[in-house]
């Protein structure tokens, strides 16, 4: 039983599940550092997935699909930025509204543009190519998962390291953290909290759009209604569990991805689908309880901002 579960296929499944969660969570981490509580990652990821499939189908090119996804994620993020930063609205209410809006809009546009409901899959959709690194991709167990992947997947881990350097080793990262922790003090030093918060929210939209592109063109080559399936919410919890630190966010994303991948494997070994589908969310709930103090602090910062 153990050998059937923990093999190369499980590692590959975990890697596929981790990339969308990690990218979205990194975007949420940037917002957290800027003092904006970001819970609209689900809607931005869904918009990115839809735009990626639409762009890839209409242009028959996965590169344009990724570009469409990035633009869509950034455009949706501007709604949150305008409401939460410019108009000082409640980011939680606005984030939920964005999630519901994207769920309804993608469900509405699917039959309007493609003439189908539920799932759109077509041979013309150009999925993201997987590039194998010679030698490394032949490593037993880990090689196919880590070194035979899409460009987006290859960029995700270096991006995590780059964001660590940016946040803790650059003046701009210091200013961003200052805006999130002491906005009035940052403003007294000539730093504009509004500019940095806008930048953070739009960056989260770009990363969530990339997550949607990986989900729709990398993991599968199709779009299904509500295909994000709570991954954006899991990414929010990953930010809190990882304490908005790149290394912690990576570890939390890996934990949730492992629970999702394990759920799929258990499903294939005879467990009821209701139990296996609930496994990632059970882990998320436990993590959310563990991170409740972090959540309370975020709410206090949001209210103060």
Q: Which two tokens stand for residue 63?
A: 């590169």
- Evaluate if pTM is beyond 0.85: yes
Q: Which two tokens stand for residue 171?
A: 């003046």
For the stretch 89-126, pLDDT in tens is: 999 999 999 999 999 999 999 999 999 999 999 999 99
* Cα(189)–Cα(174) distance, integer angstroms: 12
CATH code that applies to domain 2-304: 1.10.3470
Structural domain spans, the chain: 2-304
pLDDT for residue 274: 66
Render 245-281 in DSSP notation, one character per residue.
-HHHHHHHHHHHHHHHHHHHHHHHTT--HHHHHHHHH
109-113, 137-141, 233-237, range with the lowest pLDDT: 137-141
pLDDT for residue 300: 58
* Cα(206)–Cα(175) distance, integer angstroms: 21
For the stretch 147-205, pLDDT in tens is: 999 999 999 999 999 999 999 999 999 999 999 999 999 999 899 999 999 999 999 99
DSSP label at residue 87 = S
Q: Which two tokens stand for residue 163?
A: 């964001």
pLDDT, mean of residues 118-141: 92
For residue 295, pLDDT over 60 is answered with: no
172 φ/ψ angles, rounded to the nearest 5 degrees:
-65, -35
pLDDT for residue 263: 79
Query: What number of other Cβ atoms are within 10 A of residue 159's Cβ?
Result: 18
* Cα(271)–Cα(274) distance, integer angstroms: 8
* Cα(164)–Cα(159) distance, integer angstroms: 9
146 vs 293, higher pLDDT: 146
Note whether 21 and 238 are within 8 A (CB).
yes
H or E stretch at 222? none
Q: Which residue has the tokens 């390291």?
A: 161
Q: Which two tokens stand for residue 236?
A: 């929010």
Confidence of residue 144 (pLDDT cuts 50, 70, 90): confident
Angle subtended at Cα 163 by Cα 12 and Cα 304, rounded to the nearest 5 degrees = 115
For residue 296, pLDDT over 60 is answered with: no
For residue 298, pLDDT over 60 is answered with: no
């Amino acid at each position: 039983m153990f050998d059937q579960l923990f093999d190369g296929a499980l590692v590959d499944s975990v890697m596929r599940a981790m990339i969308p969660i990690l990218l979205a969570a990194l975007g949420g981490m940037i917002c957290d550092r800027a003092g904006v509580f970001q819970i609209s990652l689900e809607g931005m990821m869904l918009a990115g997935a839809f735009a990626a499939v639409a762009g890839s189908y209409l242009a028959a090119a996965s590169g344009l699909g990724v570009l469409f996804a990035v633009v869509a994620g950034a455009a949706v993020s501007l709604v949150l930025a305008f409401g939460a930063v410019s108009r000082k609205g409640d980011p939680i209410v606005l984030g939920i509204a964005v999630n519901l809006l994207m769920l309804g809009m993608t469900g509405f546009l699917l039959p309007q543009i493609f003439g189908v409901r539920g799932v759109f899959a077509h041979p013309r959709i150009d999925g993201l190519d997987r590039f194998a690194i010679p030698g490394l991709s032949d490593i037993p167990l880990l090689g196919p998962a880590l070194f035979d992947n899409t460009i987006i997947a290859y960029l995700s881990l270096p991006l995590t390291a780059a964001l660590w350097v940016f946040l803790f080793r650059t003046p701009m990262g210091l200013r961003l953290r200052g805006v999130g922790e002491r906005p009035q003090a940052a403003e007294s030093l000539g730093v504009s909290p509004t500019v940095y918060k806008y930048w953070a929210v739009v960056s989260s939209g770009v990363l969530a759009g990339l997550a949607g592109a990986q989900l729709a063109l990398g993991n599968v080559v199709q779009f299904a209604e509500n295909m994000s399936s709570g991954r954006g919410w899991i990414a929010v919890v990953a930010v809190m569990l990882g304490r908005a630190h790149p290394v912690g966010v990576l570890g939390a994303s890996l934990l949730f991805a492992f629970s999702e991948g394990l759920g799929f494997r258990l499903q294939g070994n005879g467990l009821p689908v209701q139990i296996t589908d609930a496994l990632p969310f059970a882990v998320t709930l436990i993590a959310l309880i563990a991170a409740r103090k972090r959540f309370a602090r975020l709410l206090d910062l949001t209210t103060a901002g």
